[in-house]
Amino acid sequence: MSAPLAGRRVLVTAGPTFEDLDPVRFLGNRSSGKMGFAIAAAAQRAGADVVLVAGPVHLPAPEGVQRIDVRSAAQMHDAVFAALPADVYIGAAAVADFTPAHIASSKIKKQPGDDGLQLRLVRTRDILADVALATPRPTLVVGFAAETDAVDEHARAKRIAKRVDLIAANRVGIDGSGFEGDDNTLHVHGADGHVQLGPAPKTEIADQLVALIAARLQQDPR
Ligand code: C5P
C-alpha cells in the first residue's frame, strides 16, 4: 500500500463543540463528526502520524490515530495548540462561534412570572484562523465551510479571510440536512481554483481529500 503521507504529522479536528450554560444545559451544533473521523482514518491509512481532536461525538477512534477528546471551543483551541506543530491542519469540526459569557454554577431556574431568559454570548476564538497564523505554520491549513447558499462564493471569501490554503465547502439544507448522512459532496477551493469531490460516501471523499493534500505537499515540500 502506498504511504504518500509517511513521516507527516496531520492534526484533524472533528465533531461539534458544546458550550455550557449551566451544569445541565449547553449550546451545541449539528455535527456527527463522521467527515472529520473519516479524514483522520484516511490520513492514517496514507501513512501519516495523526492526532484527532474530537468534540462530543459517539464515534470510535480510527485505529492507530491519537484521539484527544474535548467539549468546548476553548478546550479545542487549547488542545490544537498543544498538539502543534504539524505538517497539515484540517479543521473539520463545527466549532461554536459564540459561547455564554458566564457559566451558571447551578441549574438556571425559571421563576414565576418569567416570560423569557436573556443569554449573553461572546465570540469564541477562531481556531482555524489562529492556526493559519501560528509559528511554525503547518505547510497546509485546510478549513471546512458548511453553507446553505452561494457555497462557492462563501468558500472563496472564507479562504482568503482566514488565510488558509484550502477550504472544503459543502452545502447543507436550511433544514440541517447534509450533517448526519454517510454521503457528501465537497467543493475544495484553493488559490488556483476548485475541484468537486463526490457525491460519494464520506470515507471515499476523505481518501480523495487526503490524496489531494498529499499531492500539494509533494509540490511544496518545504
Ligand atoms: O467561519 P466558519 O465558522 O463558517 O468557518 C468554518 C471553519 O472554521 C471550519 O473549518 C471550522 O472548523 C473553523 N472554525 C474554527 N474556530 C471557530 C469557528 C470556526 O476553527 N471558532
How are beta strands 88-91 and 9-14 bridged, if at all?
Answer: parallel
Average pLDDT over residues 149-158: 93
Superfamily of domain 9-97+121-219: CoaB-like (3.40.50.10300)
Q: Scanning the structure block, which residue is given the C-alpha cell 495523526?
A: 50
CB count within 10 Å of CB 51 equals 23
Atom of ligand 1 nearest to the CA of 167: 10
Q: Is the pLDDT of residue 147 over 90?
A: no
Q: Is 184 a catalytic residue?
A: no
pLDDT band at 177 (very low <50, low <70, confident <90, very high): low
pLDDT tens, residue by residue, 52-110: 999 999 999 999 999 999 999 999 999 999 999 999 999 999 999 999 999 999 999 99
Q: Is the pLDDT of residue 36 over 70?
A: yes
C-alpha cell belonging to residue 2? 502506498
Catalytic: which of 17, 29, 72, 124?
29
Give the pLDDT score at 181. Answer: 77
Average pLDDT over residues 140-165: 94
Domain boundaries, the chain: 9-97+121-219
b/e per residue 193-215 (b: at least 16 CB within 10 A): ebeebbebebbbbbbbbbbbbbe
Q: From ligand 1's centre to the CA of 95, what distance in Å? A: 6
In the chain, pLDDT over 70 holds for what percent of residues?
Answer: 95
pLDDT tens, residue by residue, 99-134: 999 999 999 999 899 999 999 999 999 999 999 999
Compute CA distances 192 → 6, 79, 174, 195, whole Å: 26, 31, 30, 10
Q: From ligand 1's centre to the CA of 151, what distance in Å? A: 15
Atom of ligand 1 nearest to the CA of 13: 12
Give the pLDDT score at 106. Answer: 97
C-alpha cell belonging to residue 192? 488556483
Q: From ligand 1's centre to the CA of 2, what distance in Å? A: 32
Alpha-carbon span 188 to 63, nearest angstrom: 26
Q: Which residues line ligand 1 (CB under 6 A)?
A: 13, 73, 91, 93, 95, 97, 124, 126-128, 143-145, 158
Query: Rounded to the nearest 5°, which phi and psi values hold at 24?
Result: -120, -5
Q: From ligand 1's centre to the CA of 144, what distance in Å? A: 7
Q: Is the pLDDT of residue 146 over 90?
A: no
Alpha-carbon span 19 to 99, nearest angstrom: 6
